[in-house]
Structure 1
């Protein structure tokens, strides 16, 4: 696993795009602070850049680095979540501008799965985590379902967890507004 993570980090440091397993489904990832790399992810997915992307990190302090003010509600939601939870926070900062929603918000998930958590820890920056599919097509539940088109478009494919066949599911998504209100985007 260590060499695999080292290779993935080196590719992302050079502005490359990786295909990797997350705490949910397989994802396309890159350095979330590199606008050119983020642009490539949009191109690979054939997705309009007006649709914001999710980022993955390994810890609460990193969430605080990328969000100007984390509402207390976020920590309460994360404490009671029974499955991976992506929270859309207002006031994003320190990230590539083309990664953010039009209102300046960002979707962040703290991963607790061993591989993706170690990848985030070793990379030391947020990593884009968007489903490994062409926009509009079904999300792959495991590596075997990732299209050849996606596999050929990325710069590095992680070795870990390729042989898993279980059906992974996307995270729940909740949006926190600056006024404290909560909106469920995906259960």
Structure 2
């Protein structure tokens, strides 16, 4: 396992590893994440193995901007308004997936969880690779981590660790599904429903 800093050199190394089908652990604005190229079926399978995650649970995806997100999802007027207000930030939206390849590689039915993280290092990385699996870097069922040392002790078999130091956040992202302009909170995290409804 290679450990790099959140600088230009580290980000470049990490992006090369992602392009070669590797697995990375990296900081976000909420917690440390583990990811890979979401179009690489073998790499996605390996993430499930590393985390001991049930294959029936889909993994979220991170992207660089609202415009990039629109390459793979459909946003209605209300979803777009919410995304514009909270992206980059700790809000994950469950949206209709429009990209057949990613649907297949992530074993999705017709929806995907997606967000734009508010973390300079991760955004620079996403500029180089567009999309990244964005599940938390922990064994399934364990608490997600903001401490790089805890991640290093808990997880094995990935290729590179991008060290962004301790992350100061209010916790994981809030996961929201929007149905006919109604906001459904799937998981409450850093944002609460009232904040989202003030959009």
**Superposition TM-score, scaled by structure 2 size:** 0.82
Q: Larger % of strand: which?
A: 2
Aligned to 1:129: 134
Please give the alpha-carbon distance, in whole angstroms, between the structure 2 residues aligned to 1:186 and 1:147.
Answer: 26
If the length of structure 1 is used for normalisation, what is the TM-score? 0.87
Give the structure 2 partner of residue 171 of structure 1: 173
Matches within 5 A, 1:26-175: 26-67=32-73, 69-81=74-86, 83-93=89-99, 94-95=101-102, 97-101=104-108, 103-123=109-129, 125-150=130-155, 152-159=156-163, 161-162=164-165, 164=166, 166=168, 169-175=171-177
Q: Using the TM superposition, give the Cα deviation of residue 166 of structure 1 relative to its aligned residue in structure 2, in angstroms.
A: 3.5
Paired with 1:172 and 1:133, the residues of 2 have a C-alpha distance of 18
Change (3 A) 1:62 1:80: closer
User: Over the residues paired in the alignment, what is the CA RMSD in angstroms?
Assistant: 2.0
Shift of 1:120: 0.1
Task: Give unpaired runs (5+ residues) of structure 2.
Answer: 1-6, 189-199
> Matched residue pairs, number?
180
Distance 2:152 2:103 in 1: 27
Relative to structure 1, the CA distance from residue 98 to residue 185 in structure 2 (aligned partners, 3 Å threshold; closer, same or farther) is same
Q: Deviations over 1:84-116 (max 9, x none)?
A: 110010234141524254x32101101231001
Structure 1, gaps ≥5 residues long:
none
Q: 2: distance between equivalents of 1:112 and 1:10? A: 22
